Amino acid sequence: MALVLPQPFSFFALLLLFSLLHYCSCFNPKLFNVSKTASKWSPAGATWYGSATGAGSDGGACGYGNAVEQAPFSSKISAGGPSLFKSGKGCGACYQVKCNSNAACSGNPVAVVITDECPGGPCLSESVHFDLSGTAFGAMAISGRDNELRNAGILQIQYQRVDCNYPGVPVTFRIDAGSNPNYFAAVIEYADGDGDVGGVDLRQALDSDMWLPMQQSWGAVWKLNSGSELKAPFSFRLKETESGKTLQAGNVIPAGWQPGATYRSLVNFED
């Protein structure tokens, strides 16, 4: 079908029409979106640990294990000083970091997740400190100058809290290897929004209306020591720390569940 243009039709009008015809809603969300409430950058210190192109350590003090190396974390993680780690309550929180204090800095923001604790050294001497993975630290550099930036030592950076956003990835439950019919524990991963889950309740089989409160064991691990046999399938009710939003994930853990297994829900906070 030919496009018929009225006469006279200016060259600039033609350009405008061409741009409108070729516009599409093609925005592909990045791993993290800036929070609507987080618009001010604040100062912090930064170092890096582990291998130069690695993920710091395998999971560290939050319990994520080797998931830190895989998508959607993809090694863009950080250990946090006390004000970020918050005795484990900061696990899963998302931030953007950037630097301008070194010639190798690009000034472009890099999204990271708190997955570990930085308990000493500069992490205690500064009010806010990110001990980034080698991958995340190098990502703040101008292309090709990541090694130069990693050689800078302690770096002064800027940071801001952002919403977590894992497109197409639901909240995931990885069962602790020590779980049994009377004791259930799981690492909760990939929560959108706040990222750091502040409360978890468990509901047993389908005919039960009772929600049992779980306790934060350590890091992102939540546990329920019932003292009697728990009957699957299990559903969960999660509450985010800052927003107070709640999410129900029904029948995530099936009957016949296995310790060490990973089960994905069908929902997330941003759905």
Residue identified by tokens 């791993």 is 31
Question: Is 184 inside a domain boundary?
Answer: yes
138 and 207 assigned to the same domain: no
What percent of the chain is modeled with pLDDT above 90? 76
Question: Is 27 inside a domain boundary?
Answer: no
200 and 246 assigned to the same domain: yes
DSSP letter for each residue of 101-154: SSTTB----EEEEEEEE--STHHHHSSSEEEEEHHHHHHTBPTT-HHHHHTT-S
Give the residue from 133, 164, 195 where a domain finishes: 164
47 and 129 assigned to the same domain: yes
Structure tokens at 246: 């709640």
70 and 127 assigned to the same domain: yes
> Helices (H), strands (E): how many in the chain?
5, 16
Which amino acid appears at position 158 of this protein? Q
256 and 235 assigned to the same domain: yes
| Arithmetic mean of pLDDT over the chain | 86
Give the residue from 145, 164, 183 where a domain finishes: 164
Question: Is 5 inside a domain boundary?
Answer: no
How far apart are alpha carbons 16 and 95 in whole angstroms?
38
38 and 79 assigned to the same domain: yes
| Segments forming the whole domain that contains residue 94 | 32-164
Domain total in the chain: 2
Question: Is 126 inside a domain boundary?
Answer: yes
| 23: pLDDT strictly greater than 70 | no
156 and 244 assigned to the same domain: no
Tell me the pLDDT band of 181, cut-offs 50, 70 and 90: very high
Question: Is 196 inside a domain boundary?
Answer: yes
Question: Is 271 inside a domain boundary?
Answer: no
Q: What is the pLDDT of residue 59?
A: 66
ω into residue 119 within 30 of 0, thus cis? Answer: no
140 and 57 assigned to the same domain: yes
36 and 159 assigned to the same domain: yes
| 57: pLDDT strictly greater than 70 | yes
155 and 38 assigned to the same domain: yes
185 and 149 assigned to the same domain: no
Strands (DSSP E) contained in the chain are: 32-33, 42-49, 77-80, 94-98, 110-117, 129-133, 155-164, 172-175, 183-189, 197-203, 211-213, 215-218, 221-225, 234-240, 246-253, 262-264
Task: Render pLDDT for 188-211 as a digit per residue (tens, 0 to 9).
Answer: 999 999 999 999 999 998 777 899
Q: What is the CATH number of the domain that holds 105?
A: 2.40.40.10
Q: What is the CATH number of the domain that holds 216?
A: 2.60.40.760
154 and 56 assigned to the same domain: yes
Give the residue from 164, 183, 203 where a domain finishes: 164
